[in-house]
Amino acid sequence: MTFGADLTACARIVERGDPDRFMAVMAAPVATRRVLFPLYAFNVEVARAPWVTEEPMIAEMRLQWWRDALEEIATGAAPRRHEVVTPLAEILSPDLAKALDTAVSVRRWDIYKDPFEDADHFETYLAESAGTLLWVATASLGAADETTVRDLGYAMGLANWLRALPQLEARGRIPLLDGTPAGLRLLARDGLDRLTRARRNRGKISAEARPALLAAWQTGSILRKTLKTPEAVAAGTLAQSDGRKRLSLMWQAASGRW
Domain range annotation of the chain: 1-112, 114-258
Average pLDDT over residues 18-25: 97
- pLDDT of res. 2: 67
Angle (nearest 5°) at CA 28 between 27 and 33: 115
- Percent of the chain that is helix, strand, coil (3-state, to 5): 75, 0, 25
pLDDT in tens, 79-109: 999 999 999 999 999 999 999 999 999 999 9
Measured in degrees and rounded to the nearest 5, phi and psi for residue 136 equal -65, -40
Whether residue 257 has pLDDT greater than 90: no
Check if CATH label 1.10.600.10 holds for domain 114-258: yes
d(CA 197, CA 166): 29
Whether residue 18 has pLDDT greater than 80: yes
- pLDDT of res. 1: 61
Average pLDDT over residues 111-135: 97
Question: Residue 216: which of 167, 150, 164, 166 has the closest Cα?
Answer: 150
CB 188 within 8 A of CB 154: no
Whether residue 145 has pLDDT greater than 90: yes
Question: Residue 111: which of 65, 177, 171 has the closest Cα?
Answer: 171
Report the largest interatomic distance among the alpha carbons of the chain, rounded to a whole angstrom: 51
Whether residue 25 has pLDDT greater than 80: yes
Measured in degrees and rounded to the nearest 5, phi and psi for residue 144 equal -160, 150
Average pLDDT over residues 229-258: 93
Rg for the chain, CA atoms, rounded: 18
In this prediction, what percent of the chain has a pLDDT beyond 70? Answer: 99
- pLDDT of res. 223: 98
Angle (nearest 5°) at CA 9 between 166 and 239: 25
- pLDDT of res. 256: 83
d(CA 255, CA 88): 29
